């Protein structure tokens, strides 16, 4: 399975600001020596060795993650990142997409009207959700005066399939299951399994003690996963101030991954007020916490737009 990140930011889109770009330029200049700037080769080497928070950006699009396996195309959430996915040169030739939603808060659906394939009669989208009224929910944001094109005027074929919590179902040869999580209005985490590899998508979850209980539903989704994409929006201090807002601190995400025997953790659903430098500091703190507090070798990464995972 190939996993690609198209949107990793939580709550609302967060474009990089002119001030942040200026800060990156100043930070790069402060690191440069005369030798770094002498030749084209030395300048290229200098730039390539800059910290990732300076040379690049985590991204500001709201959640959208792609899973590809052979001819199977799965999309997780339709935040603003799905607009970029729709313009990819690597879209399925069949025009068939499978779309799953963690929940229906605006930052997870607002990109759908800007997903180019939904306007093509050659496109078929299979939408999976534990809710009965998914179609009605998606139609609401495309009603006048919110959007000029009504949902019923879309040219693509859109099918809706209700799924059951705690039960496996298949998307082609990929086995899928979901469980309900703690989030205002509820949210659902999904596991995708193929060839003994398991990836978990668990955004918008406020981890609580019950999430560490070995219930049958939780074991199906989380136990011994190879990789988890997990909500870690807050620092500990912020999580304490924002209890019941529906998001987790990065250290709770580390605890959760270790508890369930998960090998790789991707911190996800980044706080919109955090810049790249702040997010990098959170990544380093999470790695330190895992190594020195939990004594664990779990591998921890920061989810970034355009990043790929191969399982």
In this predicted structure, the answer to whether residue 103 has a pLDDT above a threshold of 90 is yes
Q: Would you say the C-alpha torsion 136, 138, 141, 142 has a positive or negative sign?
A: negative
Q: For 35-85, how does the pLDDT look when each residue is reduced to its tens digit (9 = 90+)? A: 999 999 999 999 999 999 999 999 999 999 999 999 999 999 999 999 999
CA-CA distance, 294 to 131, in Å (whole number)? 37
Listed in sequence order, the residues at least 6 apart from 52 whose beta carbon sits closer than 8 Å to its beta carbon are: 280
- Residue 4 backbone dihedrals phi, psi, to 5 degrees: -125, 140
In this structure, what is the dihedral angle of CA atoms 156, 159, 165, 166, given to the nearest 10 degrees?
-100
In this predicted structure, the answer to whether residue 224 has a pLDDT above a threshold of 90 is yes
In this predicted structure, the answer to whether residue 209 has a pLDDT above a threshold of 90 is no
CA-CA distance, 264 to 35, in Å (whole number)? 39
In this predicted structure, the answer to whether residue 294 has a pLDDT above a threshold of 90 is no
Helix (H, G, I), strand (E, B) or coil at 105: coil
In this predicted structure, the answer to whether residue 176 has a pLDDT above a threshold of 90 is yes
194-201 average pLDDT score:
97
What band does 111 get if pLDDT is binned at 50, 70 and 90?
very high
In this predicted structure, the answer to whether residue 213 has a pLDDT above a threshold of 90 is no
CA-CA distance, 102 to 110, in Å (whole number)? 13
- Whole-angstrom CA distances from 149 to 158, 273, 293 are 16, 32, 53
Q: What percent of the chain stands above pLDDT 90?
A: 92
The whole-chain average pLDDT of the chain stands at: 95
Helix, strand, coil percent content, the chain, rounded in steps of 5: 30, 25, 45
Please, which residues bridge with residue 193 across strands? Answer: 175, 198
In this structure, what is the dihedral angle of CA atoms 232, 234, 239, 244, given to the nearest 10 degrees?
-60
| In 108-264, alpha helices (H) | 134-140, 216-222, 236-241, 250-259
What band does 293 get if pLDDT is binned at 50, 70 and 90?
confident
pLDDT at 53: 93
253-276 average pLDDT score:
96
19-23 average pLDDT score:
95
193-200 average pLDDT score:
97
Complete DSSP assignment for 120-157: -TT-EEEEEES-S-HHHHHHHTTSTTT-SS-GGG--SE
Distance of CA 55 to the CA centre of its chain: 21
Structure tokens at 218: 């939780």
Please, which residues bridge with residue 200 across strands? Answer: 191, 228
246-275 average pLDDT score:
96
| CA gyration radius, the chain | 20
Q: For 124-150, how does the pLDDT look when each residue is reduced to its tens digit (9 = 90+)? A: 999 999 999 999 999 999 999 999 999
pLDDT at 211: 87
CB count in 10 Å sphere of residue 224: 10
pLDDT at 244: 87
251-257 average pLDDT score:
96
Which H or E run includes 64? Answer: strand 64-69
Answer yes or no: are the C-beta atoms of 190 and 75 closer than 8 Å.
no
- Whole-angstrom CA distances from 251 to 127, 129, 190 are 33, 29, 21
């Amino acid at each position: 399975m190939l996993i690609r990140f198209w949107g990793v930011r939580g709550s609302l889109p967060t474009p990089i600001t002119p001030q942040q770009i200026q800060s990156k330029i100043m930070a790069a200049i402060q690191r440069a020596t005369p030798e770094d700037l002498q030749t084209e080769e030395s300048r290229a080497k200098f730039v390539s060795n800059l910290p990732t928070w300076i040379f690049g950006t985590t991204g500001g699009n709201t959640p959208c993650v792609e899973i590809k396996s052979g001819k199977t195309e799965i999309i997780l959430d339709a935040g603003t990142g799905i607009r970029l996915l729709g313009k990819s040169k690597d879209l399925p030739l069949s025009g068939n997409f499978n779309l799953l939603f963690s929940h229906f808060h605006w930052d997870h659906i607002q990109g759908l009207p800007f997903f180019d394939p939904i306007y093509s009669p050659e496109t078929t989208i299979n939408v999976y959700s534990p809710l009965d009224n998914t179609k009605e929910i998606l139609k609401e944001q495309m009603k006048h005066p919110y959007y000029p094109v009504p949902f019923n005027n879309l040219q693509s074929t859109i099918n809706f399939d209700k799924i059951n919590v705690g039960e496996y179902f298949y998307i082609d040869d990929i086995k899928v299951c979901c469980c309900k999580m703690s989030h205002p209005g509820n949210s659902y985490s999904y596991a995708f399994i193929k060839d003994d590899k398991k990836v978990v998508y668990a955004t918008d979850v406020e981890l609580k003690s019950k999430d560490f209980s070995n219930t049958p539903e939780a074991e199906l989704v989380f136990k011994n996963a190879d990789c988890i994409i997990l909500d870690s929006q807050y620092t500990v201090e912020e999580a304490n101030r924002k209890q019941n807002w529906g998001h987790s601190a990065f250290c709770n995400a580390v605890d959760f991954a270790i508890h369930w025997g998960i090998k790789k953790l991707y911190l996800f659903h980044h706080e919109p007020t955090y810049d790249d430098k702040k997010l990098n500091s959170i990544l380093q703190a999470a790695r330190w916490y895992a190594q020195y507090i939990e004594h664990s070798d779990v591998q921890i990464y920061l989810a970034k737009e355009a990043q790929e995972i191969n399982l």
